[in-house]
Homo-oligomer: A and B are copies of this chain.
Amino acid sequence: MGNQPSFIAEARREQIIEAAIKTLDEIGYVKASLAQIAKRAKISTGLISYHFADKRDLMNHLLMKLLERSTAYILERVQLKKTAQEKLVAFIEASLAYQYTHPAHNSALIEIVFNARTPDNIPYYKLSDDEEEDQLTHELQQILLEGQEKEEFEKFNVYVMASVIQGAIGEYMLSNSTITQKIDLETYKSELVKIVEKMIVFRNKEYVRTV
């Protein structure tokens, strides 16, 4: 009784997950029934239940996939850089770029994080994330620490600073209108980098002189 999840089954699971992403993006979590997902995958609802234990199981797999992808995208680009400052800029730019180039993934991620709950009813967004998302948080904190050790960066509370940076990134991802209407991605990117560098980068003599 081999238990490797047969080639065709894996493909179908992929397809269902993709359809679920599309569904979440299009009609939101509340309306994202198995029937709606099945419709977009052009299969019967029963088949979803056959491949996933239940709806929560499907949503968990979907969430993992979304986190994996964005994490990989961002980390790839960060690891190309050498100095902490370069890494930090790459982190910010890649985060914003991923959101911009994958709006559907982004919406789906928001829908699920703010709706899915554990069996004991704790919402995911309140969860301590030892998982993938945390991988990004961890990486950001590492960059900041590294920068301080190498004296590229000033002293500041790393956790709070990481939170500020992630908040700024998330804010653009969320407020699809208020900000987006007035500021395009490139402007936001460069302005945000400027601001972050101002609050982080060590002010050496040349810098002070230019103030």
- Interface of A toward B, CB cutoff 8 Å: 27-30, 110-111, 114-115, 117, 121, 123, 125-129, 134, 137, 156-157, 159-161, 163-164, 166-172, 174-179, 181-183, 187-188, 191-192, 194-196, 198-199, 203, 208, 211
Number of copies: 2
| C-alpha spacing A109/B125, complex, angstroms | 13
Distance in angstroms between the alpha carbons of A151 and B10 in the assembled complex = 61
The contact sample of 24 A-B pairs, CB cut-off 8 A, is A29-B30, A125-B175, A128-B181, A129-B178, A137-B178, A157-B183, A159-B179, A160-B183, A160-B188, A160-B191, A160-B195, A163-B168, A163-B179, A163-B188, A164-B167, A164-B168, A164-B171, A164-B192, A166-B167, A167-B169, A167-B171, A203-B211, A208-B208, A208-B211
Contacts of A114 in B (CB 8 A): 110-111, 114-115
